[in-house]
Each structure stands twice: as structure tokens, then as C-alpha cells.
Structure 1
Amino acid sequence: MAGEMKSMKDEIAVIRNLLREQNERLTRLEMENNALKITVSKLENDNLLMKDRLEDISDENKALKLEVSDRRQVTTVLEDSNHANMDKQEEPSGAFGENAVHRRLLLPDAGSPSTTPLPVEPVAFYAYMSKSEPTPSNHHSLIFDMLKTNLGNGYNKFSGTFVAPSAGAYVFTWTINTNPHGAHWINLMVNNVIVGGTVSDTQDTADFDSDSNTAVVVLDQGDSVNLRTTLPSDRAVLVADVHAFTSFAGWRL
């Protein structure tokens, strides 16, 4: 009888060990499954960002083709004009020549100032971050590398800085997305002088935060404008994905 009881206890102990090993294996599989889900999610986001980049390249290619076509048309017009001037005969003398002189006298003096305003080239840019940026340090310049619009070529997507191609009044607007339990202090800088700012604070909440601001400033040609952090971030991530764009834009009035 004692032998049978010992045998049953041994079998129960073996079964318990098997159950424990199975539970540990299930826990490991669940952790691996969660890690795979995170990896797949990141790959999907990277894929969407790559699609956006391909669209940007396609748009830039179309713009370059249009610019080449426009320049070819201008070249053709100039060549036709040169040929016409070379083929033009001397004006006849006599009464017809006198009439031509009178007509020329009625034209405005070439040296007098023109009252027609010169056309103003548009200046505008819009860019956003292609990936999130964790815990940026103090006085960290933000770089918005996905450039969608850059009329006037004033914005540099590698440095995150806009340089005014001409003097005038400019509007700047920006949006900063922050993860839960974090905080960002962001300032708009003109020649390293603070002219605007936002605060994103979710340290006491479990929600994401999105903050925007707008500033109108008068710039001289060559003035530089960028966004930077004012204080170091603690556990704060600048969130950037296909659903929450951390962006920077500006245009001349």
C-alpha cells in the first residue's frame, strides 16, 4: 500500500512538472508573439513611409520634367526672336521713315522707371518627420526630413532650417505630437532668437498629445528660422507616423 501511494505521488509530481513546463513555454510563446506583432507593425509603418517617399520622388521627377519643358520653350522663343531680328530689313526713308520716327518717339523712355510691378515669386514650404524621435536633448534642432513643398527653395530638409530667399512678412506654423507620460518645450527661433513656442505635457496622463502654434514675423533676406527644444525631454518621444504628423510649414505673405 505504501508503495502504491509513493508511486501515485511520483506520478502527480511528474504531471505537475509537465504542467509547469508547458505554462512556461506558453508564456515564452506569447512574449515572442507580441514581439513579432510589434515588428510587423513597425514594418508596416516603414512600408507606408517608403510609399510616401516614392510618391515624393515621383512628384519631384514630374516637376523637373515640367521645368525642362518650360526652359526648352523659352529657348525656342528666344531663337525665333533672334532669327526675326536678323531677317528684319531697314525701314524705308521718306514719309514712311518719318512716321516710324514719330511712332518711336511716342514710346516710353527706356531710362524712365516702370510703373508695372515686378512679379513676385511665391515662397512656401511644408515638411514633416518620417520617424519618431526619442527624448531629444536641450537646444536640439528639429529636422523635418519629409519635404512635400518647397517653393523658393528656402527650406533645408537636412538641417531643418528655413532661410528667407527675400525680405517680407512670413507665416510659420508647426504641430508637435507627444507620447503618454512625456513633455516637450518647443520654440520657434529666428536667427537664434525665440519668437514663438509650444508646450506638450502628458506626464500625468496616459494619452497622446498634439499641440500647434502659428507666428507671423518680418524677415530680411538671409534670416534663418528653425524649431528647437528649450528644455531636455524626460521620457518624451516626438511621435511621427502615418496617423500623427509632426510637421513644420511656412510661407511669405
Structure 2
Amino acid sequence: MIFLAVLLFSVSAASNTNMWDSQTVSLSDLLKRLNDLEERLQVQERINREQEAVIKRLIIENINLKNIVMPKTDISVDIKKLNESEGFTHSPGNSNTTGEKINTVHKMHLSNSKSHLNISDEHSSVGNCCQKLLLDFKNNGPKRRSVTGGAAFYSYLSDSESNPNRLQIIIFDHVITNVGGNYNHHTGFFYCPMDGVYTFSWTLYCSSNGYIYSEIVVNSDAVGAMICNAEGASSIRHSTGVVVVEINQGDAVYIRTHPSANLVGRLHSYSAYRSSFSGWKLF
């Protein structure tokens, strides 16, 4: 009986320990997610403030444009001023003179309207001239030359990645530039098209209190390394590595996490900041 009681107590203690460990893991994951949401919220708030500033500037420009419009003129006031300037006083017997005065005021308004129309015509003429110059420059200006025999690429991560592992190849899947088509966005590899000297650059963002070790590899040899360190920081941090290497045709160049160093936190890439990989042939 004593042996059975001890066995039941041991099983109960082991069950409680496993439950506590699972709760601890869940709380740790929840805290990481909360930190990530706070960082995204800070970025979005900054974007919102910038957009509000743009909207305010557009409103002020719209008000200024409205003030340019010619204000309406009261004809009766103009007739009164014209009469006073000529010493004219209205009476029943001089209706013809009144008609002449009204005609004169109408002519004044027509003249003012024509002057504004001329100004508008001048602005329209200037606008047409500018459009013509832009069209001529587009048709006859310097042409974008076709690149032959060169190699250049730029690509970035389309989304963040949670808790990358050691020796993990980072695949920068969204290609912006790929002259020569030598970068493969499915594998993350750049294949050297010809012997020469090349420059490569990579930028990584890591979450607050995290750090990510990375290296650039030619075939299987690391030729450069970098750490993105956000320990003790309240927001994300980033680092950029640059190497200049002489490589041969067919060599594969890529970015991977360090094979032995610890990795903590998320690898970030967002619309306001991008983890990226780029390279180009020098000569």
C-alpha cells in the first residue's frame, strides 16, 4: 500500500510539472507576440502622422487656390462710384444718361473679364508649352540604354519570419531588380554569370531584445558576417553588411544564418522597412 501511494504521488507531480512547462511556453510566446504587435503599432502610428501632415498641406494649398479666384463685383456700387466721379445725380429726365452709365459699367466688367481670360489663356499657353517640351524630351531626349554583359540585382523579404534557425538560407523572395536574371527568388541564390569582382550588400532587421547572426556565403565558404543586435532596445534594430569579392562563373552567393551562434527573436521585413539582399558586378 505504501509503494502504491508513492507511485501515485510521483505520477501526479510529473503531470503538474508538464502542465507548468506548457503554461510557461505559452506565456513566452504570448509576450513575444505582444512585443511584435507593439512594434507594428508604433510604425503604423508614424505612418498615420505623416499622412495627416500631407492632408493638412493639401487643404492649405486648396484654400490658397480658391483665394486666387476673382471676387464678384457689385454693378450697382460701380455705377454709384462712376456717378459720383462725374457729378451725376439721377432724375426722371436723364434715363438715357443712366443707360449710358450702365453700358459703361458693363463694358468695364467685360474688359476685366477679358483681361482675366487673357491671363488664363497665357497660363494655358505656358502649360501647353511645358507639355510640348516634356513630350519632345521624352521622344528625342536621352534613351534608357539596354544593359548587356552586366549583372545586378535587388530583392527583399516580403514578410517577417519568426524564430529563424541556425544555418537557414534566407530567401529574399520579392525581386525589384534582376539585370541578367542571375538571382533566383525561389532559392535565394545569385549565380555568377562571369568571372569578375562583385559587390554584395545585405540588411537585416531584428525585433527588440533580439539578435540575429548572419553570413554571406560563396558556394560553401563564408566570406563575410554580421550581427543585428537589439538587446536592451525598445524597438527594432537593423544592420547592413557589405563585401567586395572576386568570384568565378557559376559560383553561388547567398545569405544564411550563422551555423553555431544563438538566434533570438524575429527577422523583420515590413512595408516601412525591408530586410534585403543586393549585388552588382564592378569589373
AA aligned opposite 1:252: K
| Deviation of the 1:233 alpha carbon | 5.0
Q: CA deviation at 1:211?
A: 0.3
Residue 234 of structure 1: CA displacement?
Answer: 4.2
- Partners of 2:246 and 2:281 lie apart in 1 by 9
**How far apart are the structure 2 equivalents of 1:145 and 1:218?**
25
Q: Is the 8 A contact 2:166 2:263 kept in 1?
A: no
Rounded Cα–Cα distance in structure 2 between residues aligned with 1:197 and 1:135:
19
Change (3 A) 1:234 1:139: closer
State the match for 2:281 in structure 1: 252
Q: Which runs of 5+ in 1 are unaligned?
A: 1-34, 46-118
Amino acid at match of 1:176: L
Q: How many residues align?
A: 140
Residue equivalent to 1:30: none
C-alpha RMSD over aligned residues: 2.2
Q: TM-score, normalised by structure 2?
A: 0.47
2:5 equivalent in structure 1: none
Q: 1:157 aligns with which of 185, 188, 194?
A: 185
The answer to whether structure 1 residue 133 and structure 2 residue 155 are counterparts is no
Residue 266 of structure 2 is matched in structure 1 by: 237
Q: Secondary structure at the match of 1:203?
A: coil
| Structure 2: gaps (5+ residues) | 1-33, 45-146
TM-score of the two chains, using structure 1 as the length reference: 0.52
Corresponding residue to 1:143 among 159, 171, 174? 171
The structure with the largest helix share of the pair is 2
Is the contact between residue 212 and residue 264 of structure 2 (CA under 8 Å) also seen in structure 1? Answer: no
Aligned to 1:179: 207
The one-letter code sitting in structure 1 at the alignment partner of 2:164 is: P
For residue 235 of structure 2, what is the aligned residue in structure 1?
Answer: 207
CA distance in 2, matches of 1:148, 1:214: 19
8 A contact 2:163–2:267 mirrored in 1 = yes
Between the aligned residues of both structures, percent identity stands at 31
The structure with the largest alpha-carbon Rg is: 2
Amino acid at match of 1:241: Y
Q: Aligned residue for 1:169?
A: 197
1:204 offset after TM fit, Å? Answer: 2.4
CA deviations over 1:12-64 (Å, ceiling 9, x no partner): xxxxxxxxxxxxxxxxxxxxxxx9xx7xx89xx9xxxxxxxxxxxxxxxxxxx
